[in-house]
Structure 1
C-alpha cells in the first residue's frame, strides 16, 4: 500500500532528522557523495549547485510536500543509508538502533527502490494539478486544462512508460549496490495509472467540467477577457433551485449591463478574482441593481469549498486506494 510506504518514509525522515547532529551528518555525507561523483565524472557542473539540501518532512495532506520529500529522498538516498547505519551502530537508544537497522535494510531492497520511483512519477505528473486546487484564488479554467493533461500523462505512463521506469530503477539500484532480481520474476500491475486517470475522470465528469468552464467566465482577470454571456446563462441552469424561469429571462440583459459596468467603472479595473468582483458590487451598492449576477457570483464562490473537499478526497486516501504496487 502506498500509505504504508509513505509511513515508512516518514519514519526514516524522522530518524535522520531527529537532531542537528544527524542533519549535519546527512548534509556532510551527501556533499561527500556529490564530490566523489564529480571527481569520477559521474556528475558534471560545479559543486555549489548540489550543496544546499535537506530532507523535507512529509506533509499531512499536501501532495507537493510528498513530492518534495520523495525527490530529495532519491537524491540523498546514499547519504540517508549512511546516517541510518551510524544510528544503528552508535545510537544511544536500542529501539532507535533497531529501527534504523530495519529501515536501512528496507531501503536496500529492489521493491523499495521501485516504489520510490513509481510514486515519484505519479506525484510529478499530478503535482501541477494538485497545486492548482490548493490555491485560494483558483484559476478554474487552468485547473481543468491541467486535469486533462494529467489524464493524458498517466495514460502515457501506463502505455509507454514502464520500460523507461524499469530501466531507471535498475540503474539506480546498480549504482547503489542494491540486488536486482530476475526481471522474469517481477509482475507489474500495469493498470494502476489507468485507475488514477479513471479517478480523475470520476471526479471531473462532463457535467463538472462544463460547470467549471462556465464559472471561469466570471473571472475578472485581464479586464474580464473570458466573459461569455451564453456560458453564464448555461451556468444559471445548473442551479434550478436558485433561478426560476423569469429570472433566467432577466439574467441575459442584466449580464449585458454588467459587462458595460465593469468596462466603464474604474472600480472594477485590475481585479483578479471572483470574490473581488462580488466585494466591489457590495462596496458600490451595485449588488441590488445586479442581483442576479451577484447571485451567480456567490454561487461560484462556493466552488473553493467544493474543490477543497475534492482535494482532501483525492489526497492520501485516494493514493492509498489507487496506487497499490
Structure 2
C-alpha cells in the first residue's frame, strides 16, 4: 500500500513540476526495521518516516476506515492519533537532526580500517555540531517543525500556552508552558544526553591514547610519525615502560633510528596499517632490533578488541550457535566462528583441499 500511494504522489508531483525526473532521483523508500547495533539503520528509518509521512497517513487512514481490515483498524486509529500530533513530528525531526550530526561518526567507528586520527576528528566535529545545535539551533529547528506541520495539516500549539499531555493525566506532569516542555525538557535534554555519552566514551585520556597510537601508522611513508606523542604513549603503560630516564632515553634513540630505517626501506613503503607494519617487522627480523618500538606496536594492536569488531563477533554467534546447535562445546564454537567470520578468506579454499586435509589427519577406512 505504501508503494502504490508513494508512486501516485511521485506522478502527481512530476505533473505539477514540484520534483524533477532523472537517473537516481525519486528512489523508492521503505520502512525497514532498524538494527539494534547499527545506528545508521535508525537514521535511515527516521529519514524514511519523515519522507513518507503523507503516504503513511493515507495508508493508516485507509486501514482505519475500511472494515475489511478489522484486525488492524484499532491499531491504525491509535497510531494515526499519535502520528498526527505535534509532539510526534517534533521528536521525529529531533531524532533526524541528531542522527544526521552523528552519522559520520557512527560510520567511521563501524569501519575496521578507519584511521584513528580521522575518527577522533569526527568525535570533535560531532560534539561541536551538537553543541552548536543546542546553543543556537532552536529557532531554526522550531521553524522546520512548524513548516512541516503546516504542510501536513498538523495542529501547532501556541508556545506560551500551558502544556497538555496527550493521553495521560496532567497530575503526572509539572505545570509548564509548551515552550519549556519542547525546548528545555525535550530539545535541550536530549542533546545534553548525547553530549554526556560522547564525553563519557571519548574523554581526554582516551582521545589522547588513540591519537598517540595513530602516530605508529605507516601510511604515506610514516607521515603521522611523532616522537613526542609516541614517548607519551609509552608513559601511559608504566608496567611495560618504567618511567625512568634510562628507559625513555633508550626508546627515544630507538625511535629515531627506527623511523630513519623504515623510511629508507622499500619493503615498508606500501603498508596499509599497523597490523601490516608488525608483520613486516617480523618478516624482516627488525622486531628484534627495535624491540621497544615493536612492544609499542603490540600494545596498539591490543586496542581494537574494544571496538566494533567484538560486536560483530557476538552478532555472529547468533547465527552459529542457534537452537539446533545449542549444545556445542567451546572448541567447536570457536572453530565455527573462525570459519564464519573469515568466510571471505575460506571461500578461496577449494573443496578438494579441505577433503585432502581432512583425509590426511588420520588413517580412515575409505577415501572421501
Structure 1 and Structure 2 fold alike (TM over 0.5)? yes
- 1:112-157 Cα distance to aligned partner (Å, 9 max, x none): 1110000111111111112111111231111111111111111111
In the other structure, the counterpart of 2:13 is 37
Corresponding residue number in structure 2 for 1:239: 237
Alignment partner of 1:303 is 2:303: yes
- Residue of structure 1 equivalent to 2:75: 99
Root mean square deviation of aligned Cα: 2.5
2:255 is matched with 255
- Deviation of 1:95 after TM superposition, in Å, equals 4.5
**Equivalent residue number for residue 155 of structure 1:** 131
Cα displacement (A) at 1:51:
3.6
Distance 1:299 1:27, change over 3 A: same
| CA 278–95 in structure 1, closer or farther in 2 if over 3 Å, else same | farther
2:50 paired with 1:46 = no
What secondary structure, in the 3-state scheme, does the structure 2 residue paired with 1:117 have? helix
Q: Which 5+ residue runs of structure 2 have no aligned equivalent?
A: 162-177, 313-368
Cα distance in 2, alignment partners of residues 84 and 298 from structure 1: 57
The answer (yes or no) to whether the contact 2:117–2:214 under 8 Å persists in 1 is yes
CA offset at residue 232 of structure 1?
0.5
Alignment of 1:134 with 2:110, yes or no, is yes
Equivalent position of 2:222 in the other structure: 224
Would the aligned equivalents of 2:63 and 2:69 in 1 still touch at CA under 8 Å? no
Which whole-Å CA distance do the structure 2 matches of 1:259 and 1:310 have between them? Answer: 32
Distance 1:106 1:73 in 2: 14
Q: Distance in 2 between matches of 1:236 and 1:95?
A: 65
Evaluate the alpha carbon distance shift between residue 242 and residue 79 of structure 1 in structure 2; reply closer, same or farther with a 3 A threshold: same
Q: 2:143 aligns with which of 121, 143, 167?
A: 167
Greater relative contact order, per chain length (Cα 8 Å cut-off, separation 6+): 1
**Which deviates further from its counterpart, 54-63 or 85-94?**
85-94
| 1:1-325 paired onto structure 2 within 5 Å | 25-41=1-17, 43-46=18-21, 49-89=25-65, 94-185=70-161, 186=178, 187=181, 188-189=183-184, 190-192=187-189, 193-244=191-242, 245=244, 246-308=246-308
Superposition deviation, residue 94 in structure 1: 4.8
Partner Cα distance (1:297, 1:44) in 2: 54
- Count the aligned residue pairs: 287
Name the counterpart of 2:317: none
1:208: Cα distance to partner? 2.1
Distance 1:91 1:137 in 2: 54
Determine if contact 2:86/2:156 at 8 Å carries over to the other structure.
Answer: yes
TM-score (normalizing by structure 1): 0.80
Take 2:148 and 2:157, find their aligned partners in 1: how far apart are those partners?
Answer: 13
* Higher gyration radius (CA): 2
Cα deviation, 1:162-194, whole Å, max 9, x if unaligned, reads: 111111111111211222222223222253223
Gaps of 5+ in 1: 1-24, 313-325
Per-residue deviation, residues 32-53 of structure 1 (Å, max 9, x unmatched): 2233234344x33226611433
Distance 1:297 1:225 in 2: 16
Aligned partners of 2:145, 2:37: CA distance in 1, in Å? 27
Runs of 4+ aligned residues of structure 1 deviating over 6 Å after TM superposition are 309-312
Q: 1:294 to 1:97 in 2, by over 3 A?
A: farther
CA distance in 1, matches of 2:22, 2:285: 61
TM superposition shift of 1:310: 11
Farther-moved stretch of structure 1 (28-37 vs 68-77): 28-37
Q: 1:85 to 1:229 in 2, by over 3 A?
A: same
Specify whether residues 47 and 91 from structure 1 end up closer, same or farther in structure 2 by C-alpha distance, changes over 3 A only: farther
Could you tell me whether the CA contact under 8 Å between 1:84 and 1:101 is conserved in 2?
A: yes
| TM-score, normalisation: structure 2 | 0.71
